[in-house]
Chains A and B, each alone.
Chain A
Amino acid sequence: AQKVTQAQTEISVVEKEDVTLDCVYETRDTTYYLFWYKQPPSGELVFLIRRNSFDEQNEISGRYSWNFQKSTSSFNFTITASQVVDSAVYFCALSDNFNKFYFGSGTKLNVKP
């Protein structure tokens, strides 16, 4: 069965600190996709990144970076020099061969000024 685990329920940091959000997944599929979404207080999920199971290259986009490691089934997300606007709930998700999405329980990030 597919499963996505985000063990960190809530993280609080002070602005400009770096923070890493952990995501561990379980799947028996060889082809799958991993996603990160941000959910600000307004409620709408905002797409951040998609990564397929064959591409383990890390990615950097501005202050955001993602580390995908198949060996540990992890897809971690790092925010460098966090800002108050980064405060939100972040979800990691997995899409399987049957096009079903499985979301983690989310990590609430509080960035304090």
Chain B
Amino acid sequence: KAGVTQTPRYLIKTRGQQVTLSCSPISGHRSVSWYQQTPGQGLQFLFEYFSETQRNKGNFPGRFSGRQFSNSRSEMNVSTLELGDSALYLCASSQTSGSQETQYFGPGTRLLVL
């Protein structure tokens, strides 16, 4: 079974621009979660989508948004990029939504904001 895939793997943007990251979950998985990883803040939860609905949201500004499609693929959008948005963005999928579910992670998208 193919793992979680994320595209693109690397991105360079400038301040003020917007960016869209994509995540394809493991086949059969319906829940997708997004995380931001930075050296200073570690791994922080952004949001979770299940059956095209946002189930959970972390403490990030409204510039960070996401959506999920009927095939469970998910996109994350960051508008008006700031230097501090430079990070590794990880996507994780699980079969369903629930605390008992193991999340399987993709390789991440490394975003650099100049």
Q: A residues within 8 Å of B by Cβ?
A: 31-33, 35, 37, 42-47, 50, 52, 91, 95-106
In the complex, which of the residues B43, B99, B110 contacts A95, with contact meaning CB atoms closer than 8 Å?
B99
Interface residues in B34-88 (C-beta closer than 8 Å to A): 35, 42-45, 48, 55-56, 58, 88
Chain A residues, Cβ within 8 Å of B102: 35, 47, 50
A102 nearest in chain B by CB position: B45
A selection of 10 A-B contacts at a CB cut-off of 8 Å is A35-B102, A44-B105, A45-B90, A47-B102, A99-B48, A99-B55, A100-B48, A101-B35, A103-B35, A105-B42
Chain B residues, Cβ within 8 Å of A43: 88, 90, 107-108, 110
| Contact B48–A44 (Cβ < 8 Å) | no
| Contact A97–B99 (Cβ < 8 Å) | yes
Among A37, A42, A43, A102, the one with the most B-chain Cβ atoms within 10 Å of its Cβ is A43
Chain B residues, Cβ within 8 Å of A33: 99-100
Chain A residues, Cβ within 8 Å of B45: 100-102
B108 nearest in chain A by CB position: A43
| Contact A47–B33 (Cβ < 8 Å) | no
With A and B bound together, what is the CA distance between A31 and B99 in angstroms?
A: 9
Q: State how many angstroms separate the Cβ of A35 from the closest Cβ of chain B.
A: 7
Q: State how many angstroms separate the Cβ of B58 from the closest Cβ of chain A.
A: 8
A32 in contact with B90 given A43-B108, A101-B45, A103-B42 (CB within 8 Å) = no
In the complex, besides A47-B103, A99-B55, A100-B56, 4 extra interface pairs with C-beta distance below 8 angstroms are A35-B102, A98-B99, A99-B56, A100-B58
| Contact B43–A98 (Cβ < 8 Å) | no
In the complex, which of the residues B42, B56, B58, B107 contacts A44, with contact meaning CB atoms closer than 8 Å?
B107
Chain A residues, Cβ within 8 Å of B104: 47
Chain A residues, Cβ within 8 Å of B101: 95, 99
